[in-house]
Amino acid sequence: MPITLEPFDYKKHKPQDVGLGGLSTEYLITVDSPEGGVMVIPSIWWDSDGKPKLVENQREAVLLAKDYEKTTNKQFPRFAPKAYQEADKFARERSKAGGASNSYLARDIKEERAKTAKTFKESLD
């Protein structure tokens, strides 16, 4: 199934007003992750024509995020179980730093694993 919606991509999307009081690139929400921890995901998703869709239903946003991760092999930020305050702080700091206008929220899983690996072999697993 091809992806029809994706998170803001600063290389191809332009900030737009989605009814949140100004131009937006992303509006982050903190939710429970499938692994039992906490994750930060966007609630604004962009179609192939560059039009934003504000997803107000949390379950729908989670389904979009899980499908995006599965399809792209990228992962949204994860935190320990019940680390809602830490995740919310991450979202606030990301917003203050320019949010999606200068960096991607989801990261390549293999690239992130390689950065944190202690050995070369561990980076390949």
pLDDT of residue 16: 96
Q: Quick check: pTM over 0.75? A: yes
pLDDT of residue 1: 42
Give CA separation, 68 vs 1, 19, 42, 121, in Å: 11, 24, 11, 28
Domain boundaries, the chain: 5-124
Distance (Å, whole) CA 117 – CA 44: 32
**Order of strands across the sheet that contains 28-32:** 28-32, 38-42, 78-79
What is the widest separation between alpha-carbon atoms in the chain?
48
Residue range 19-66, pLDDT digits in tens:
999 999 999 999 999 999 999 999 999 999 999 999 999 999 999 999
